[in-house]
Each structure stands twice: as C-alpha cells, then as structure tokens.
Amino acid sequence: MIISMKHGTPGLNENKNTARTMTVHNLYLFDRNGACLHYSEWNRKKQAGISKDEEYKLMYGMLFSIRSFVNKMSPLDMKDGFLTFQTSKYKLHYYETPSGVKVVMNTDLGVPNCRDTLHQIYSGGEDLCGVHCEEPPVQYERSHSERSVLLQAGQLRQGAPLLLSPGRL
C-alpha cells in the first residue's frame, strides 16, 4: 500500500492538511556483529568529528549499551525492548530483527513511532532492496548499482512524510 507510492505521484500532496514536514537525517544498518552494512545521509548538519569507521563503531556501541541498560532497568519483561530516544534536536529510532540486523534512523522530533517503516526498510518493498542474508557472511544485496540503491532509499524518505502523517494511517 504505502511502498507503491513513488516520488512525484500526483495527488499525494492533497493530504497535506494534516501532514507535517518531517526530516530524516540519516540511516544506519548494522549486522549482528556490529559491522555497518549501509549508511545513508540526507540532511545532516553536523558531523560527529571522528572518522566514519569510528562513528559506526560508536553508534553500534552506544546501541549495544542502551540495550543492556534497558534490559537491566526494566521492571517488567520486555517484548520489543528499546524503541527510540530523543534529545532536544533529534530522535533516534531503533529496530532490531531476530537475526540481529539493526536498523537505526535519525529524524527530527516531529516523527512519531515509525517501527514499521524501519521494518519495511529491512524487509524491502517493491521499490527497495531489502537486506538479504546469505551464509556466510551477511551480504547486503544490491539489485542495481550503488547509486540506484541510494535513489530508492531517498524515495522512501521523500515518501516518509506522507507515510507518517496522521491522515495516511
């Protein structure tokens, strides 16, 4: 339903009466060992000040620690676990599959819970490459060139404001 929306489809903007503009800053994909499978950036205003490799490691390490922290702190048994966190300027959304693949998305504060969007990014709709796992190692399969993957991920992001606006649900 939602994935078949393409950028520039006429009539999409008619739902704007309740839609808010939302920004997706960047997206990380990690495998179960912590290796970064994919990173996309659309609207990032500030770099971390360290090399990309170190940034991936820091991000993965932070998420690993948050998961263990949340596991210990929780008063009840958790089903989904850690979902999101937010600061004064951005919100980080987290989704982990049972196979250990982690999808992490940074957005602005207006975005509500978008766990199913992250699941769609992982499983791949008609327009996207999902993450395909082959034994061993885990491979991120590209059906076309690198450029078209980014283009497709960008289309999802541009479709995302409408995915997430209340009118669409």
Partner 1 sequence: MAIFSVYVVNKAGGLIYQYDSYTPRAEAEKTFSFPLDIVLKAHDERILVSFGQRDGIRVGHAVLSINGVDLNGRCTADGKDVIEYLKDPVNYPVSIRFGRPRLSSNEKLMLASMFHSLFAIGSQLSPEVGSSGIEMLETDTFKLHCYQTLTGIKFIILADPRQTGIDSLLRKIYEIYSDFALKNPFYSLEMPIRCELFDQNLKLALEVVEKAGTFGPGS
Q: Interface with partner 1 by CB under 8 A: which residues? A: 25-26, 41, 43-46, 48-49, 55, 58-59, 62, 65-66, 69-90, 92, 106, 108
Nearer of residues 6 and 78 to partner 1, judged by Cβ: 78
Nearer of residues 53 and 126 to partner 1, judged by Cβ: 53
CB of 76 to partner 1, least distance (A): 5
CB of 83 to partner 1, least distance (A): 5
Nearer of residues 110 and 167 to partner 1, judged by Cβ: 110
| Separation CA 79–CA 150 (nearest Å) | 32
CB of 133 to partner 1, least distance (A): 25
Nearer of residues 70 and 133 to partner 1, judged by Cβ: 70
CB of 17 to partner 1, least distance (A): 27
The 10 Å Cβ neighbour count of residue 163 is 21
Nearer of residues 41 and 141 to partner 1, judged by Cβ: 41
Q: What is the DSSP letter of 117?
A: H
Beta carbons of 53 and 134 less than 8 angstroms apart: no
Distances, alpha carbon 163 to alpha carbons 13, 49, 79, in Å? 12, 32, 25
* Region for 39 from its dihedrals, namely left if φ exceeds 0, alpha if ψ lies in -120 to 50, beta otherwise: beta
CB of 97 to partner 1, least distance (A): 16
Tokens in use for 116? 């199913």
Choose among 100, 116, 99: nearest CA to 160: 116
The 10 Å Cβ neighbour count of residue 120 is 20
